[in-house]
Structure 1
């Protein structure tokens, strides 16, 4: 009996074919980005794609301006092979990082270079102004892109909260944000807007442009509004059933924790938060202006302020608890220290190792984000690049 595909079957077949084409394009672009200029024969060897597929895809990428001729190789007989190179500067995306008290936006080209930058304060108030500030940042980035002749092809947004499976963004500061949905962040935009938790954005950036090139199993750790982790296992970001994997700030620290409720901030991240650190610093008579965070406290201790030493040791104990729990459950190769933990990393990393050695089975490598101070922002950009139509977003 002859089977006639239904409309659903046809759409699934088309989707499969489209996805395969994107996967192949991704393989070629990633090979050129990672290894530099290559001939078509070398691309075939690096990706496992047939000569016909390499020819077809590179022709399309050259037409789009993402790949260009870059001379020829020395000939060993016959026509010398043409060398192809990735041209990441030909396209840009917009990346937006929503911090606790400010929003940073950037135009980032496909090579990960920031070409324009916008910063806006995020004031507390009633009604909350967060969404209006976010839209003003994105409007400015779009204007700058048009002026450059390279409007952003997609938008990547990192948030300090959780993006739930039903697209609600939870865990943001209610003094700055009203109830927020992903559609609020994409409203009025003509391009894809990808929204992700900041620790996951950092993990995606490191996976494709940093530590992930050598390590398929690592965890990013950052201390922003809360303490969060981005988990990469076998080269893929793990988000969990409710997209809340990595909320290590909700780790319960001591027996008294079972007598408390933690609705907005978890037990561990409350101990590490600026409000708690500031209160304890005041009790110890430690001088500071405004609030003081965990890394500022550690910097004071390193500078010789003996009053800060016990509190700094307490902070490091708490971070070590988080790293120890992550290492014991996931066994990552590397723990990547991101924002809020990276500024004193030359002191923090060995301090964490010394606390854990001999107390857990294996202490992972503890390193700072290879993408630097803009690691989360560049991770948001990488999300946008992979949503811009020339990548299969498999993370």
Structure 2
């Protein structure tokens, strides 16, 4: 970490970096410390960042003057004058977050502190190739309009999708009932605010890297089960995208003895057995009629609640998930496996079920846990991803 107050090492007349570069680095260090840890005193900021007290004072003053940081009360004291606490201003940099789901869209305004200010839901219109894009355009416009009404600038919008999103402008794997084959620009449309698109599992992994599991692990995978089963892979503190931006598509594992002889179905074999459509169909076959599509976690919960009809379906779901996790763990050797949306609702049942199937069958079973960012982990992750992807008036460092 640069400290523009510290003395250069012996033999060096002055720091080689420009004042603006040093200032931006120091500014980012303080902002990141506050965004990750919450309200902190000047002494705590100095200890966390390694910056001198004088540098913390100077940089903090500038952040306060520009409205990014404000006083946030005082620290409890056992004697003497209590220390003043500082924190980021939630409305200083607001990001929009949009999660494209199987049958609809969730949107949110996310503050600079990483907390949701307001959220919105929108279902797709009747099935058709323009149903998805139309709903997405309306959601982005709604986020912008709400910020205008609140008199808050909208800095950027992040959109998470279940398909493969590549920087060259293509998206593949979206639900064909609502989405046409189109470039990313055509799907998102034209908006005054910058829009960043990311795969949902990658968004979850990046959110956890910056604000969750990444605080103690640099090697982990994050799983999301919606229309398909995908994983975001973090190795050595970096997201692994792959040569074609399709890394982590664990739902495409071939798992049956006849996988190589049966005609291709156009979808991943593993995910086609455990997505809500498949689980609901399997449940129907054993006499369970559901009012809505059943997730993997829900069918496991039904068995736990005593519905023995659900037992074979729940067992099949956990078997398939365990195979996917086993492949990821055996190849990547992560510290942690993070269960995200579609798997985390009944983690108290899913995690023991996975561990029971994996222990003794692979070399090491890592910690399996739910996302640190909770049920909105993908939304918060794509907001964080977008915020870091677009240059803003204050630099955001990687982590503290």
Give the TM bin, normalised by the shorter chain.
Answer: 0.7 to 0.9
Residue matched to 1:239: 241
Residue matched to 1:156: 158
Residue matched to 1:214: 216
Q: CA deviation at 1:280?
A: 2.6
Residue matched to 2:330: 328
Residue matched to 1:309: 311
Q: Is the 8 A contact 1:69 1:84 kept in 2?
A: yes
Q: CA deviation at 1:226?
A: 0.2
Q: 2:123 aligns with which of 121, 124, 127?
A: 121
Q: CA deviation at 1:223?
A: 0.6
Distance change in 2, residues 1:184/1:55 (3 Å)? farther
Q: CA deviation at 1:70?
A: 5.0
SS in 2 for 1:332: coil
Distance change in 2, residues 1:49/1:296 (3 Å)? same
Q: Which has the higher helix share?
A: 1
Q: Is the 8 A contact 2:297 2:350 kept in 1?
A: no
Q: Is the 8 A contact 1:19 1:392 kept in 2?
A: no
Q: CA deviation at 1:354?
A: 0.8
Residue matched to 1:285: 287
Residue matched to 2:67: 65
SS in 1 for 2:210: helix
Distance change in 2, residues 1:278/1:68 (3 Å)? closer
Distance change in 2, residues 1:366/1:191 (3 Å)? same
* Separation in 2, partners of 1:127, 1:279: 25
Distance change in 2, residues 1:273/1:34 (3 Å)? closer
Distance change in 2, residues 1:19/1:283 (3 Å)? farther
Residue matched to 1:86: 88
* Separation in 2, partners of 1:170, 1:294: 24
* Separation in 1, partners of 2:204, 2:302: 27
- Any idea what the Cα deviations from partners look like across 1:225-278, whole Å, max 9, x if unmatched? 100001112222211121111100011112211123546421100111233333
1:19-34 superposed matches below 5 A: 22-34=24-36
* Separation in 2, partners of 1:172, 1:227: 13
Distance change in 2, residues 1:318/1:148 (3 Å)? same
Aligned pairs, how many? 379
SS in 2 for 1:241: coil
* Separation in 1, partners of 2:266, 2:153: 38
- Any idea what the Cα deviations from partners look like across 1:77-99, whole Å, max 9, x if unmatched? 9x998754322343321110010
Question: Unaligned stretches of 5+ in structure 2?
Answer: 1-17
* Separation in 2, partners of 1:245, 1:115: 32
Q: CA deviation at 1:111?
A: 1.2
**TM-score where L is the length of structure 2:** 0.85
* Separation in 1, partners of 2:362, 2:57: 51
SS in 2 for 1:258: coil
